[in-house]
């Protein structure tokens, strides 16, 4: 396998990990707008450990997962009690804050970042993906997974069934952040250099796009989204320059035409009184529940 | 001099207030966020700056141009990200508007390059009141911002369209049943928010004498911090919070250091979220766990 | 001293200047079917929301089995034995009928990391059997794999009750169960509510339909303008002059 192919495969693998990680929290219906922060936290944690303390990559990856989980639990606990607007704002701001802090922290090289990390191999990435897929396989067939879906469908109904909505959402968020952290660690040791600017809003949006493109209903939809979006600029290299415009437009078009993603059922027609509400000339954003 | 810094801070705060108002209008009307407002402000500012520096157009006209650009971009954002997006998906419009923001930034850098542009001084005077030294441009910023805020207030409270906007914010279904053209009112709300964003962008540009195509996210971030502290959707709260943060930022830079500036605002936001998530200036309307 | 499942004491609820409830007190005896009626805006649903934890009262207390639950969130009341149904139906529309019922059992099921299939214990299998049993009782077995949102309205209402009952509550609060029902469905409702009582569930029904209330309830509390107007057996309370005035306005 050529070095180029290897790089592409690893990049693909990391994208898949990021997508699967994000899917877990999207499965509860919670959309974070700053997941790249957890990727950055994982990347920096692992890099500090391997470069400055000579830890093995495998152990460092585990620690990144842990730091990701802690950061995720923290952010999740603050924001998941509040509405989705607050979640969007807090996660967005959190990512920017982490980026700014990293840029001013000399120990990690400030804006110039860290370099010298190496060691990510295809088997390593594959193992991580396998672990996550096995977890997701069981999750989606268990009562825990069912509770995630319930929260996504209707939080109030979930409360009425006794579900600790905030607790479950935070748990999902923390797991999601952990996996994202691991992906960050793997990515850092592949690209050899990490800078804070790598983990900004464009990266967060890309992660969201993986999942939103693939659809939230099935976790393998996220894999499809990740593969398509990673391979697109490789298959069509003229897209490389227009990357930002392309995803921006993709978001817009997707949200109008098929917000549930490519894979996943089309919207339900509901045979109850709620469908009458649509006949009222109301706003196209019914965020407030009665 | 403390008084000087306070005044500078208040002035900075007024530009924040305008962008916070622009976000709050949409939050209030739709319970949604238009994430493209930061870029809207940016593109308006760049157009305004271009008119002034390349085409020698006087400030006032350039300002109107900026307002128009802001209004147009916001209207477009409404159509693309809100109007035709299904109501079932609550996060979809927010995501879509983020996408729009990205597209705006890319288009601007492609069309006009990624360089910063100069915003020339408009009023080359200096006024001295005791220990205070106020520059002509600062006066302009103050006057324009104050004027726009007052006009907005008057519009919302004294005109029929303004009342329609407040009605739709409060209860869209009822408003619709009462015969109010809800979609048109929402479009109007977006247009208003766009003009505020445009003004904020150009005035900020005037304040620092420079505009850059990459300020979109930073503007959005600042606006979000302000509205969280002031309370989402709380118009007056947003203005007070904006002034407060303007002063805090200026004082921190003057007496501590630039890095502390961002940190302090973040800490403030954190405290607000933990202690009083509905905003420092909002009555408790059960924001936590929105039942 | 009556055996009380639920007590609401001096419940007051104010919303920014509007007083929805003013010092309403209610006592629900164990094993009874207790109705709450009143004209539109009387505060019935607000009272139900306070009793079920979806709204905190401005003042007052709610006790379940003698224990103060006023500040508890709805989800914490479920394991204590209190569940509810919703006037506008809150099913998990995208999930199957069976999944809806399984979720009703949440407070009795293990949902920690060890619940990941296939480590299913005997307790889990028992719960699944109970879910299927509930589906049978409510006539939903044939629909168990269908998405809840695709069910006809009457069956959706059944499903919500089935889900609420799966939590093995001691008290079920029903918010306008007869709303939107056909005449036939209303007739079927009465024996179903009685069957719930036979299962040992105390039932509180907020309802508009006087016939249902009169037929099935042991006690009726009448609310008007946020206050308790009168309380007693359906025969006494509903026929009283005060109630007639409240509803007809003279």
Give C-chain residues touching B291 at CB under 8 angstroms. Answer: 54-55
Domain edge (last residue) among C117, C138, C168: C168
What's the CATH number where A189 sits?
A: 1.10.3470.10
Q: Say if strands C202-206 and C33-37 run parallel, antiparallel, or are unpaired.
A: parallel
Residues in chain C: 250
Of A143, A161, A271, Cβ closest to residue C163: A161
What predicted TM-score, i.e. pTM, was given to this entire model? Answer: 0.89
Evaluate whether residue A94 is within a structural domain.
yes
User: Given CB atoms, is B291 within the 8 Å cutoff of chain C?
Assistant: yes
Give B-chain residues touching C75 at CB under 8 angstroms. Answer: none
Task: Print the domain residue range for B76.
Answer: 2-275
Q: What is the pLDDT of residue C249?
A: 61
| Mean pLDDT calculated for residue range C59-86 | 93
* Contacting C residues, span 23-42, partner chain A, CB-CB under 8 Å: none
| Mean pLDDT calculated for residue range C99-120 | 78
Question: Taking a C-beta distance cutoff of 8 angstroms, is the pair B114, B213 a contact?
Answer: yes
Q: How far apart are the first and last CA of chain C?
A: 38
Evaluate whether residue B291 is within a structural domain.
no
Domain edge (last residue) among C133, C150, C168: C168
Same domain, C183 and C71: yes
Count how many domains chain A has.
Answer: 1
Task: Print the domain residue range for A13.
Answer: 3-199
pLDDT at C71 over 70: yes
More confident position, A150 or A279: A150
In this structure, the dihedral spanned by the alpha carbons of residues A263, A201, B222 and B268, taken in order and rounded to 10 degrees, is 90
pLDDT at A53 over 60: yes
Evaluate whether residue A247 is within a structural domain.
no
* Contacting C residues, span 39-68, partner chain B, CB-CB under 8 Å: 54-55
pLDDT grade for B290, boundaries at 50, 70 and 90: very low
Task: Look at A219-223, B281-285, C137-141 and tell me which has the smallest mean pLDDT.
Answer: B281-285
pLDDT grade for C116, boundaries at 50, 70 and 90: low
Q: What radius of gyration do chain A's Cα atoms show? A: 19
Mean pLDDT of chain B, nearest integer: 87
Task: Look at A151-160, B99-108, B159-168, C136-145 and tell me which has the smallest mean pLDDT.
Answer: B159-168
Task: Give me the percent of chain B exceeding a pLDDT of 90.
Answer: 38
* CA C191 – CA C168 distance, rounded (Å): 19
User: Given CB atoms, is B86 within the 8 Å cutoff of chain A?
Assistant: yes
pLDDT grade for A286, boundaries at 50, 70 and 90: very low
Of B102, B182, B269, Cβ closest to residue A244: B102
Task: Give me the percent of chain C exceeding a pLDDT of 70.
Answer: 94
Nearest chain B residue (CA) to A30: B91
Among candidate residues A115, A128, A125, A124, the one with its CA nearest the CA of residue A48: A115
Q: What is the pLDDT of residue C123?
A: 79
Among candidate residues A234, A253, A259, the one with its CA nearest the CA of residue A26: A259
Evaluate whether residue B290 is within a structural domain.
no
Among candidate residues C202, C214, C244, the one with its CA nearest the CA of residue C27: C202
Q: What is the pLDDT of residue A257?
A: 87
User: Counting one residue from A and one from C, how many pairs have CB atoms under 8 Å apart?
Assistant: 115
CA angle B94, B97, B98 (to 5 degrees): 85
Q: How far apart are the first and last CA of chain A?
A: 59
pLDDT at B285 over 80: no
Task: Give me the percent of chain A exceeding a pLDDT of 90.
Answer: 58
Evaluate whether residue A43 is within a structural domain.
yes
pLDDT at B278 over 90: no
Evaluate whether residue B289 is within a structural domain.
no
Q: What is the pLDDT of residue C2?
A: 66
Evaluate whether residue B255 is within a structural domain.
yes
Give B-chain residues touching C55 at CB under 8 angstroms. Answer: 291
Q: What is the DSSP letter of C108?
A: G
Question: Taking a C-beta distance cutoff of 8 angstroms, is the pair B85, B93 a contact?
Answer: yes
pLDDT grade for A281, boundaries at 50, 70 and 90: very low
Domain edge (last residue) among C134, C168, C202: C168
pLDDT at A232 over 70: yes
User: Given CB atoms, is C153 within the 8 Å cutoff of chain A?
Assistant: yes
Nearest chain B residue (CA) to A97: B266
| Mean pLDDT calculated for residue range A39-49 | 94
Q: Smallest CA–CA separation between C244 and chain A, in Å? A: 30
Both tokens of C217, joined, read: 């309830």
* CA C87 – CA C208 distance, rounded (Å): 11
Q: What is the pLDDT of residue B284?
A: 60
| Mean pLDDT calculated for residue range A135-141 | 90
User: Given CB atoms, is C75 within the 8 Å cutoff of chain A?
Assistant: yes
pLDDT at A288 over 80: no
Of A149, A157, A269, Cβ closest to residue C90: A157
Q: How far is CA C84 from CA A131, B54, B207, C10, in A?
A: 40, 68, 58, 21
Task: Look at A229-243, B9-23, C70-84 and tell me which has the smallest mean pLDDT.
Answer: A229-243
B73 DSSP β-pair partners: none
Q: What is the pLDDT of residue C1?
A: 54
* Contacting A residues, span 145-204, partner chain B, CB-CB under 8 Å: 156, 165-166, 200-202
Task: Look at A7-11, A90-94, A255-259, B16-20 and tell me which has the smallest mean pLDDT.
Answer: A255-259
Residue pLDDT, tens place only, C136-149: 988 899 999 999 99
pLDDT at A270 over 60: no
Other CB atoms within a 10 A radius of the CB of residue B210 amount to 15
* CA A25 – CA A27 distance, rounded (Å): 5
* CA A119 – CA A275 distance, rounded (Å): 55
What's the CATH number where B26 sits?
A: 1.10.3470
Q: What is the pLDDT of residue B289?
A: 37
Q: Which chains touch C (3 or more CB pairs under 8 A)?
A: A, B
Residue pLDDT, tens place only, B55-114: 888 888 889 999 999 999 999 999 999 988 877 788 888 889 999 999 999 999 888 888
What is the dihedral sign for C-alpha C111, C116, C117, C120? negative
Q: Smallest CA–CA separation between A173 and chain C, in Å? A: 15
Mean pLDDT of chain C, nearest integer: 88
Give which of B106, B111, B187 to mutate to test A binding, by max A Cβ within 10 Å: B106
* CA A185 – CA A46 distance, rounded (Å): 5
Of B85, B106, B182, Cβ closest to residue A259: B85
What's the CATH number where C4 sits?
A: 3.40.50.300
Count how many domains chain B has.
Answer: 1
Give B-chain residues touching A34 at CB under 8 angstroms. Answer: none
Give which of A149, A159, A161 to mutate to test C binding, by max C Cβ within 10 Å: A161
Q: What are phi and psi of A193, to 5 degrees?
A: -130, 135
| Mean pLDDT calculated for residue range C149-165 | 93
| Mean pLDDT calculated for residue range B191-196 | 95
Give A-chain residues touching C81 at CB under 8 angstroms. Answer: none
Evaluate whether residue B229 is within a structural domain.
yes
* CA B169 – CA C214 distance, rounded (Å): 42
Evaluate whether residue B111 is within a structural domain.
yes
Q: What is the pLDDT of residue C114?
A: 58
Evaluate whether residue B287 is within a structural domain.
no
Q: What are phi and psi of C119, to 5 degrees?
A: -80, 55
Residue pLDDT, tens place only, A59-84: 999 999 999 999 999 999 999 988 88
Question: Taking a C-beta distance cutoff of 8 angstroms, is the pair B46, B109 a contact?
Answer: no
Count how many domains chain C has.
Answer: 2
Evaluate whether residue B58 is within a structural domain.
yes
Range picked from A119-133, B50-64, C8-22 for highest mean pLDDT:
A119-133
Q: What is the pLDDT of residue B229?
A: 93
Task: Print the domain residue range for C151.
Answer: 92-168
Nearest chain A residue (CA) to B168: A283
ipTM score of the complex?
Answer: 0.90
Of C79, C90, C150, Cβ closest to residue A156: C90
Question: Taking a C-beta distance cutoff of 8 angstroms, is the pair C223, C204 a contact?
Answer: no
Q: Do C115 and A161 touch (CB under 8 A)?
A: no
Nearest chain B residue (CA) to C53: B291
Same domain, C77 and C135: no
pLDDT grade for B181, boundaries at 50, 70 and 90: confident
Evaluate whether residue A91 is within a structural domain.
yes
Give C-chain residues touching A156 at CB under 8 angstroms. Answer: 54, 86, 90
Mean pLDDT of chain A, nearest integer: 87
Give A-chain residues touching B29 at CB under 8 angstroms. Answer: 283
Of A141, A154, A274, Cβ closest to residue C92: A154
Residues 6+ apart with CB under 8 A from A5: none
């Amino acid at each position: 396998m050529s070095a180029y192919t290897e790089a592409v495969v690893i990049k693909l693998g990391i994208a898949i990990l990021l997508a699967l990680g994000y899917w877990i929290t999207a499965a509860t219906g919670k959309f974070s707008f700053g997941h790249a922060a957890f990727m950055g936290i994982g990347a920096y944690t692992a890099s500090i450990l391997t470069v400055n303390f000579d830890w093995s990559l495998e152990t460092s990856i585990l620690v990144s997962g842990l730091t990701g989980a802690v950061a995720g639990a923290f952010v999740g606990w603050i924001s998941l009690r509040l509405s989705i607007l607050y979640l969007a704002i807090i996660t967005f701001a959190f990512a920017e804050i982490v980026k700014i802090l990293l840029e001013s922290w000399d120990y990690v090289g400030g804006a110039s970042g860290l370099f010298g990390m190496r060691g990510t191999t295809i088997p390593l990435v594959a193992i991580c993906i396998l672990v996550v897929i096995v977890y997701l396989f069981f999750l989606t067939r268990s009562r825990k997974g069912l509770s995630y879906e319930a929260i996504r469908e209707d939080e109030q109904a979930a409360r009425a069934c006794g579900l600790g909505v905030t607790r479950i959402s935070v748990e999902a968020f923390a797991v999601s952040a952990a996996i994202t952290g691991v992906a960050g660690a793997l990515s850092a040791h592949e690209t050899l250099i990490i800078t804070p600017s790598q983990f900004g809003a464009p990266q967060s949006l890309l992660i969201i796009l993986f999942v939103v493109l693939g659809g939230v209903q099935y976790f393998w939809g996220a894999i499809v989204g990740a593969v398509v979006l990673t391979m697109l600029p490789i298959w069509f290299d003229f897209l490389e320059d227009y990357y930002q415009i392309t995803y921006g437009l993709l978001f817009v078009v997707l949200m109008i035409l098929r917000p549930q993603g490519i894979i996943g059922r089309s919207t339900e027609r509901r045979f109850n009184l709620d469908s009458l509400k649509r006949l009222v000339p109301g706003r196209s954003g019914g965020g407030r529940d009665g | 001099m403390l008084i000087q810094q306070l005044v500078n801070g208040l002035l900075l705060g007024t530009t924040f207030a305008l962008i916070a108002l622009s976000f709050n209008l949409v939050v209030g009307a739709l319970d949604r966020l238009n994430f493209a407002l930061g870029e809207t402000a940016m593109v308006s500012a760049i157009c305004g700056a271009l008119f002034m520096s390349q085409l020698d157009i006087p400030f006032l006209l350039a300002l109107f141009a900026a307002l128009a650009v802001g209004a147009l971009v916001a209207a477009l954002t409404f159509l693309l990200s809100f109007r035709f997006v299904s109501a079932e998906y609550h996060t979809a419009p927010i995501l879509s508007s983020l996408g729009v923001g990205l597209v705006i930034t890319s288009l601007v850098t492609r069309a006009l390059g990624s360089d910063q542009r100069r915003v020339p001084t408009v009023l080359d005077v200096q006024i001295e009141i005791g220990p205070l030294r106020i520059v002509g441009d600062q006066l302009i910023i103050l006057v324009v911002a104050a004027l726009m805020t007052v006009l907005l207030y008057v519009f919302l409270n004294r005109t029929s369209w303004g009342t329609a906007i407040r009605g739709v914010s409060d209860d869209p279904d009822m408003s619709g049943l009462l015969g109010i053209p809800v979609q048109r009112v929402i479009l109007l709300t977006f247009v208003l928010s766009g003009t505020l964003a445009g003004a904020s962008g150009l005035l900020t540009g005037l304040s620092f004498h420079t505009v850059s195509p990459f300020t979109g996210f930073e503007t959005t971030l600042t606006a979000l911090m302000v509205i969280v502290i002031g309370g989402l959707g709380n118009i007056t709260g947003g203005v007070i919070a904006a002034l407060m943060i303007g002063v805090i930022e200026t004082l921190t830079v003057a007496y501590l250091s630039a890095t502390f500036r961002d940190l302090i605002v973040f800490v403030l936001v954190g405290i607000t979220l933990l202690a009083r998530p509905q905003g420092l200036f909002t009555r408790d309307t059960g924001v936590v766990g929105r039942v | 001293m009556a055996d009380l499942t639920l007590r609401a004491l001096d419940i007051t609820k104010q919303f920014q200047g509007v007083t929805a409830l003013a010092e309403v007190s209610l006592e629900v005896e164990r094993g009874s079917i207790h109705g709450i009626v009143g004209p539109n805006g009387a505060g019935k649903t607000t009272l139900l929301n306070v009793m079920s934890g979806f709204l905190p009262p401005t003042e007052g207390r709610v006790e379940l089995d003698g224990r103060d639950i006023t500040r508890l969130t709805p989800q914490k009341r479920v394991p204590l034995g209190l569940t509810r149904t919703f006037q506008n139906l809150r099913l998990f529309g995208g999930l199957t009928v069976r999944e809806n019922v399984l979720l009703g059992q949440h407070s009795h099921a293990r949902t920690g990391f060890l619940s990941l299939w296939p480590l299913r214990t005997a307790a889990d299998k028992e719960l699944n059997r109970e879910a299927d049993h509930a589906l049978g009782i409510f006539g939903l077995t044939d629909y168990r794999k269908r998405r809840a949102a695709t069910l006809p309205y009457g069956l959706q209402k059944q499903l919500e009750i089935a889900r609420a009952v799966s939590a093995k509550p001691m008290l079920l609060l029903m918010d306008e169960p007869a709303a939107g029902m056909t005449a036939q469905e209303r007739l079927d409702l009465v024996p179903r509510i009685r069957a719930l009582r036979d299962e040992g569930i105390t039932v509180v029904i907020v309802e508009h339909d006087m016939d249902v209330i009169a037929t099935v309830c042991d006690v009726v509390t009448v609310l008007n303008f946020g206050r308790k107007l009168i309380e007693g057996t359906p025969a006494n309370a509903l026929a009283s002059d005060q109630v007639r005035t409240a509803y007809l306005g003279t």
